[in-house]
Structure 1
Amino acid sequence: MDEDRQATFGSDGSLDTETPPEAREGTTDWGEPKGDGETDGGYNRYDVSSLLQKAVRRSDEEVAAWAAWELARSGYAWNLWDRLHLYVVEDLRAGQDVALLVERYETLATERWDPQSWKGRLCAIHAALACARAQSSREASNADEFFRNAAAARAEVRGTDEDPAVDFPVADLDPDGPYDVIFDKHTAEGSRRDRGEGFFKRFGARVGPEGEDAQSARWQRLNMALSDVEYDEAELDHAVEPVDPEHRWEDPVTFEDEGGDGGADRSESGADGGGS
């Protein structure tokens, strides 16, 4: 399981799921032979690896830079880059560009240069500093754990009259429920309800809460005007109206013929109208 990846404590018999060989060759800074899992500075590389991730998570730039440098110079570059890549998916707010930077720094350090060399160590420091300066968040990890707990809670009461202690944010996806708008031509239920391009354009393709910019809205209105489905002005306006941030899924259907496309459909066969 993914959760086991961090259950690595050292070279004293603890579980180690990371398989690359130990960088034992050479001596410590004071000339003593290095032990298994020991860094040049005499630290346990598991401890330094954990320190690296905690430092970038807490935005401690200096400690993160040192930990990256210590791992890189000691022959544990693979551990360093594995930990930084784990950070960008476990502890980083989604959308941060640093995820791409880490990949680039690793390529430079490991494919163009020796990861233990001066250039390789600079790449390690750069990557650690970039991560420490990024916006940390446990949102993905917290979401994953919550969804797993909710799945277990739902399964526990399956077949009984009890409600789960916690549930998925969408509960049950039923037509005519809170998420009715998803049942358009891209789903079997939507097709059964004759919700074709007209329904999708008016409801399913709306964005928010920022809404379309002026150019995108202009293109959407032109596409609808040129479509085989006829739309009135109110329908054109609604299609590009921003979604209400307080009621993202409430999309009041006030147009004629709620179930179908509304208006006259001159020829809907072959009209795709974009993605789902």
Structure 2
Amino acid sequence: MGDDESRQMTFGADGEISERSPDADDTNDFGDPKAADETDGGYNRYAVSSLLQKAVRRSDEEVAAWAAWELARSGFAWNLWERLHLYVVEDLRAGQDVALLVERYETLATERWEPNEWRGRLCAIHAALACARATSSREGPNADEFFRNAAAARAEADETDTEPAADFPVGEFEPGGEYDVAFDKHTGEGSRLGRGAEFFKTHGARVGPEGEDDLSARWQRLNMALHDVDFSGAQIAHAIDPVDEDEQWAEPSFDDEG
């Protein structure tokens, strides 16, 4: 069983210590005494937290907003903010600015205001809505699980002297291979191959496939022209060219490179 599955299955298991805010009500909406992990609405906080995560993952804004509000008003704001910070890396596409928004909303709710009073609850709702409106993706957990499985497959194949059922995307990863450009002056292998500034400037500093903007490209041309290495026109042009979208690691050789 993968780590993610076991973590989610044990989350909220019997015996886990409950921590409700001391300012929270002792009775639920119906006037009945609340159990240790019961929300004001009479729900189990672990179930509400799980619902919040699924709502974020499925982009259901209304359910996400309600689940966040329910946790915040019930004295479980600490649980809410802890989980939301996990959701932005577990259930959203990388690069979403919402990660910074969640932190800001938490700061407002917990440091400037009280987390279960109305302003704190608004922060909880806003944070949940921001997460639900962001681009959902399980790319982080999926990548982590695949890389772990590939590592195990490689180790098993090494032990049995067979081909692995799965491998890392870089394969053997050695000089002369597909990712040869990585072995520049900043690595021991590259230094031993004599790959200095000429190799790095020509091959290792390229970007793409969007390429450099005009100003950055101009600076690079000037830097290479003023360098103590005598770069050829072809090398300068190549250094500025964006990498190929379909062959991002393809690099020509220049016979005069040291």
Could you report, residue by residue, the CA deviation over 1:121-179 in whole angstroms, capped at 9, with x for unpaired residues?
00000000000000000001100000000000001111443100000000111111111
Residue 215 of structure 1, CA deviation: 0.6
CA separation in 1, counterparts of 2:213 and 2:15?
Answer: 53
CA separation in 1, counterparts of 2:172 and 2:126?
Answer: 46
Report the residue type matching 2:96 in the other structure: Q
Identify the residue that residue 116 of structure 1 maps to in structure 2: 116
CA separation in 2, counterparts of 1:15 and 1:240?
Answer: 60
In 1, are the aligned partners of 2:38 and 2:44 still within 8 Å (CA)? Answer: yes
1:68-83 matches, cutoff 5 A: 68-83=68-83
CA separation in 2, counterparts of 1:20 and 1:61?
Answer: 27
1:217-236 matches, cutoff 5 A: 217-236=217-236
Residue 9 of structure 1, CA deviation: 5.7
CA separation in 2, counterparts of 1:165 and 1:2?
Answer: 20
1:84-233 matches, cutoff 5 A: 84-233=84-233
Normalization by structure 1: what TM-score?
0.88
CA separation in 1, counterparts of 2:10 and 2:62?
Answer: 24
Residue 14 of structure 1, CA deviation: 2.8
Structure 1 spans left out of the alignment, 5+ residues: 261-276
Residue 193 of structure 1, CA deviation: 1.0
In 1, are the aligned partners of 2:25 and 2:74 still within 8 Å (CA)? Answer: no
CA separation in 2, counterparts of 1:89 and 1:237?
Answer: 39
Matched positions, count: 254
In 2, are the aligned partners of 1:7 and 1:15 still within 8 Å (CA)? Answer: no
Relative to 1, partners in 2 of residues 1:244 and 1:131: Cα closer, same or farther, differing over 3 Å?
same
Residue 105 of structure 1, CA deviation: 0.1
Could you report, residue by residue, the CA deviation over 1:232-274 in whole angstroms, capped at 9, with x for unpaired residues?
1111100000100111111111x2235x2xxxxxxxxxxxxxx
Identify the residue that residue 7 of structure 1 maps to in structure 2: 9
Moved more, 100-109 or 155-164: 155-164
Report the residue type matching 1:168 in the other structure: F
Structure 2 spans left out of the alignment, 5+ residues: none
Matched, 1:257 2:256: yes
Runs of 4+ in 1 over 6 A off after TM superposition: none
Report the residue type matching 1:256 in the other structure: D
Report the residue type matching 2:255 in the other structure: E
CA separation in 2, counterparts of 1:86 and 1:44?
Answer: 20
Residue 224 of structure 1, CA deviation: 0.7
Higher relative helix content: 2
RMSD: 1.7
Normalization by structure 2: what TM-score?
0.94
Identical-residue share of aligned pairs (%): 72
Residue 7 of structure 1, CA deviation: 3.0
Q: Secondary structure at the match of 2:200?
A: helix
